[in-house]
Structure 1
């Protein structure tokens, strides 16, 4: 399977830098790396009514879109579950 290119919005980078503990940030970075291998993995879910997907890491969520034809994953938002869908 081909690797997907990961593109992260600047606002998502800032959100990642401001997240809770270092341990959580490390888990999120590892999850982002795994999205490059397979953005449709078991832990991902398509958001109903949108062309977006989400992945859960504890109380945090990563929202992203996938351009399958171009093998690109666009990370849109990384935030706590209470704030991510707003």
Structure 2
């Protein structure tokens, strides 16, 4: 299934605050999800947003809405679930 990708403003701000090398890795993994939810994707329980993508020590928190992957936050693992 082909998904569109949408970044919320907070996710863009989170991403811009990271080193360029980490930004590149995260964007590469997000682009791979366009065709299928590949990578280290996990459905979260009792947490919003519903899904997370693990990229090293960072977590990309997202939901799937109407065939779009909506990315809400990009955080280090120790701050992602607070």
TM-score using structure 2 length: 0.88
Larger Rg: 1
Runs of 4+ residues over 3 Å off in structure 1: none
Residue in structure 2 matched with residue 44 of structure 1 by the alignment: 41
TM-score using structure 1 length: 0.84
Q: 1:62: how far off?
A: 0.3
Report the aligned-residue RMSD.
Answer: 1.4
Unaligned 5+ residue runs, structure 2?
none
Q: 1:66: how far off?
A: 0.8
Q: How does 1:1-86 map to 2 (within 5 A)?
A: 2-19=1-18, 21-39=19-37, 41-50=38-47, 52-67=50-65, 70-86=66-82
Unaligned 5+ residue runs, structure 1?
none
